[in-house]
């Protein structure tokens, strides 16, 4: 679906290898700014999009960021994730949302889409998420958030993420519709390579040891082996993780996922060219966003904004005033 609103440009904060970029490009949007502190990600991004991201967002003045219509940000998830230590707001990376708010407060994009792990909604009793929502409201944004699962958008991967959507006008979020899940799950077999390189396979000794500990119910299946050596299997992949050195995802207990298979699990196209080592791409893909899921959300944003353009501005003010008036009456109505 081509976008029909006047949203045509985007900025891509904490861009990684470009999941947001692909989703936005598919809808006809043009990137005007990107940044990521990881050099390998920046090189991968430039190689595939021909666009060179800036490095540390903290060194970028908001005024230096080009004007843009929509802001995307999948900020660092390690402080909040299950695989991390869940330090949340006590981790320097856990307060990177301040950098997003700094850019938003100056550039005031028409819309924004933020992404983080499910635990972002509960860590520190939800303080980080609430701080983001309150700040965006103070900047004039209507906001909603929801937990979405990549499994519901045509990817054989159980990956739950908090998605925050904001529109720059109060009282308009009823125009935004969250995407509906795709009815049938995509099978794991659809993303597996037919002849993976031998380097991805475990030795015969290790494979026999795993087989002695687990009897799968389906094949092909993703086996998950944790630090303690416990093995479980599923017809769908567990979430791809960036720094899971002791959590292995294995195809039928025999081998690791190849870089191409990992990219497919996130919805990256076959045209995406991999540069760097297998370990680098594993980390990069683990930090990426599921492209079909993000695209569906952005489609909803574009649709909502095309409707907002048709509404008289006074209607938003009246809607906001009416809500304030009703809140004021609640003590007397109860």
Provide DSSP, 35-83. Answer: B-S-HHHHHHHHHHHS---BS-GGGS-GGGSPP-SEEEE----TTTSSS
| 333: confidence class by pLDDT, cuts 50, 70, 90 | very low
Which pLDDT score is estimated for 86? 44
- The per-residue pLDDT for range 271-303, each reduced to its tens digit, is 999 999 999 999 999 999 999 999 999 999 999
Beta-bridged to residue 163, according to DSSP, are 115, 146
Residue among 176, 119, 183 nearest 151 (CA): 183
- The per-residue pLDDT for range 183-224, each reduced to its tens digit, is 888 888 999 999 999 999 988 888 888 888 888 778 888 887
Residue 81 clears pLDDT 50, i.e. is over it: no
Q: Of 15, 35, 41, 77, which residue is the catalytic one? A: 77
Lay out the sheet containing 222-225: strands in order across: 231-234, 222-225, 248-251, 255-256
Q: What is the mean pLDDT of residues 311-316?
A: 62
Burial class (CB in 10 A: 0-12, 13-18, 19+), 66: exposed
Domains in the chain, CATH or no CATH each: 9-184+288-333 (3.40.50.150), 190-276 (no CATH)
Residue 179 DSSP class = P
Q: What is the mean pLDDT of residues 148-176?
A: 94
Q: Is 77 a residue of the active site?
A: yes
């Amino acid at each position: 679906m081509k976008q029909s609103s006047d949203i045509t440009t985007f900025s891509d904060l904490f861009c990684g290898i470009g999941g947001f970029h692909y989703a936005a490009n598919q809808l006809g949007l043009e990137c005007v700014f990107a940044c990521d502190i990881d050099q390998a990600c920046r090189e991968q991004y430039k190689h595939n999009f021909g666009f060179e991201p800036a490095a540390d967002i903290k060194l970028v003045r908001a005024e230096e960021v080009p004007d843009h219509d929509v802001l995307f940000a999948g900020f660092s998830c390690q402080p909040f994730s299950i695989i991390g230590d869940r330090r949340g707001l006590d981790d320097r990376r856990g307060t990177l949302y301040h950098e997003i708010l700094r850019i938003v407060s100056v550039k005031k994009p028409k819309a924004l889409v933020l992404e983080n792990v499910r635990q972002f909604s509960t860590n520190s009793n939800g303080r980080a998420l609430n701080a983001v929502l309150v700040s965006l409201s103070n900047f004039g944004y209507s906001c909603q958030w929801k937990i979405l699962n990549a499994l519901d958008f045509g990817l054989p991967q159980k990956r739950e993420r908090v998605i925050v959507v904001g529109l720059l006008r109060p009282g308009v979020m009823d125009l935004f519709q969250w995407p509906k899940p795709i009815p049938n799950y995509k099978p794991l077999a659809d993303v597996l390579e037919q002849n993976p390189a031998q380097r991805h396979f475990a030795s015969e000794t290790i494979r026999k040891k795993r087989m002695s500990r687990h009897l799968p119910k389906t094949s092909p299946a993703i086996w998950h082996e944790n630090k303690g050596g416990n093995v479980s299997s599923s017809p769908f992949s567990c979430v791809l993780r960036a720094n899971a050195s002791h959590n292995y995802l294995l195809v039928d207990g025999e081998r690791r996922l190849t870089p191409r298979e990992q990219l497919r699990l996130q919805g990256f196209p076959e045209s995406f060219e991999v540069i760097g080592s297998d370990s680098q791409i594993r980390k990069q893909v683990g930090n990426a966003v599921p492209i079909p899921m993000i695209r569906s959300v952005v489609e909803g944003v574009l649709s909502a904004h095309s409707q907002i353009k048709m509404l008289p501005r006074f209607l938003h003010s009246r809607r906001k005033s009416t809500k304030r008036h009703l809140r004021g009456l609640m003590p007397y109505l109860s």
